[in-house]
Amino acid sequence: MIPDSTAPALLDRYAEHAGPDAIEQLRQLASRLTGLKVVHVNSVPWGGGVPEILATLVPLMQELGLDASWETLEADEDFFSCTKTLNNALQGKPVAPSPEALQLYEAVNARNAERLRPLLEEAGVVVIHDSQPAPLLSHCPDRRGKWIWRCHLDLSQPYRQVWRYLRGFLVDYDASVFSLDAFVQPLPHLQFLIPPSIDPLSEKNMPLDPETLSQVLEQFSIDPQRPVVLQVSRFDRFKDPLGAIEAYRLAKQFVPSLQLVLAGGSAVDDPESAEVLREVREAAAGDPDIHILATEHYSDRTINALQSAADIVLQKSIREGFGLAVTEAMWKGKPVIGGNTGGIRLQLLDHRTGFLVDTPEGAALRIRYLLSERHRMGQIGQAAREYVRQSFLSTRHMREYLTLMVTLTHGDEDRIELG
């Protein structure tokens, strides 16, 4: 396809949101890394936050002059069932994959290493995302570059037996990256703290016209005249969709017109979601004001429209690596009520950019408060958007990745002078 020469360059489009100084920072950092071969590896090409982040960061790195690419694992359902258990354990659930499952986990990584080895061994920087591809490093003995393990999970209280197993694959990495200080586990290398980000230019976060919002609400029979509370998340126990239903029920006693929308796509690497969805449907018990949107993979534009049309966004998680759905809603100027956990704490400054709650009762109380004090919804939403603009856009994320790469390739100094 011939590029549209009249379209503004990608970096100029980001400058409209993040400001020209942020772009100049990226250019100065990237000037030290021109031509560097960077390979990202994660489990799947779509579904969940990691592919979304990579879909933004990889083209941005390319535009900045790095030779960046993105690979995913070739794996089957049994592998993902094993890594789902691994991830649950890493986030604190006392479960462990069977020895056979771990054998499969290692074998799938060995098979993928055969395919990816030439690329990975010649790369200047390899970024391995989460636990699924973590063993790849052990299959690349002639690696030339620096290897970074990027953990997107809440690793604050891992099930120790499983963490010890995974740690064996991580000790030879050159650096690791966590979203929050509380998630850091002892590893014998540099550990950076880099919260993830959202892409303001993506289908999921671009502004939509009111007609699109009306169409989407109509498509799902959601009444635009009545208040809507929305939770967007996979059907995962850590996201506590049952807690969201309980909060809705408690609030509805005071706001009878209230509607709840639970919108959750699925991801290839999350085979548990069907079971959780069944539990959610049971809990909803046919309430016509609870809209469970889970029968297909919703487009980013649909999720965007739901978030933009909602009055309040809920993220009632009990464990959360970061919570990009929170960031997305904040960027749309919505008041968010989030579980007092993990990365949600970093985003929702209680009573300023949103509300943190510990129970369904707490969530219900904040729903009632916001619906009765509607001017606060606007104030909090505005502060939330500004907070995201300053802290959680892709440009900030990119700057920190580039800083990490400059540090690894030019030496660990306390001050890096550019320009």
Partner 1 sequence: MGDFAITDCALAIVATGRRAQTLRELRDVLRDVHPGCIYHHFWGTLLRPQFAQLEYNNDFASWCHHNLHDDRIAERLAVINPAAFANMDDLRQELLEVIDERLDETEMMLFAQADRQFHFVRSIIVLFDTHRRLLQPDELAVALPQMPAGSGFYHFVDARRRQPRQIDDFRAWLLEWGPEYRSLCEALAEIDPYFDSLFVLRERLTQLFVNAFPPFVTLGLSESARREDSG
Give me the residues that bind partner 1 (CB under 8 A), please: 19, 21, 24-25, 28-29, 156-157, 178, 181-182, 184-187, 190-194, 341, 349, 352-353, 383, 386-387, 390-391, 399-400, 403-404, 406-407, 412-419
| CB closer to partner 1 out of 375 and 415 | 415
By the 10 Å C-beta count (0-12 exposed, 13-18 middle, 19+ buried), 63 is classed as middle
Amino acid in the structure at residue 6: T
Amino acid letter at 241? P
When the beta carbons of 219 and 390 are compared against partner 1, the nearer one is 390
Residue 384 C-beta: closest distance to partner 1, Å: 9
Q: How does DSSP assign 181-232, residue by residue?
A: GGG----SSEEEE----B-TTSTTTS---HHHHHHHHHHTT--TTS-EEEEE
Instruction: State the nearest-atom distance from the C-beta of 242 to partner 1, in Å.
Output: 22
Nearer to partner 1, 178 or 235 (CB): 178
Task: Give the C-alpha separation, 267 to 191, whole Å.
Answer: 28
**Contact status, residue 137 vs residue 172, Cβ threshold 8 Å:** yes
Fill in the DSSP letter of residue 8.
Answer: P
Count of alpha carbons within 13 Å of 386, Cβ hemisphere only?
Answer: 9
CB of 115 or CB of 351, closer to partner 1: 351
Question: Looking at beta carbons only, is 372 or 390 nearer to partner 1?
Answer: 390
CB atoms within 10 A of CB 294: 21
CB of 70 to partner 1, least distance (A): 23
Of 296 and 417, which CB lies nearer to partner 1 in the complex structure?
417
Q: How far is the CB of 3 from partner 1 (least distance, A)?
A: 29
Nearest to 240 by CA among 363, 369, 63: 363
- Smallest separation (angstroms) from partner 1 to the CB of 353: 6
3-state DSSP call for residue 60? helix
Specify whether the CB–CB gap between 320 and 238 falls below 8 A.
yes
Cβ at position 179, least distance to partner 1 in Å: 11
| Residue whose CB is less far from partner 1, 158 or 264 | 158
Least Å from the CB of residue 65 to partner 1 = 17
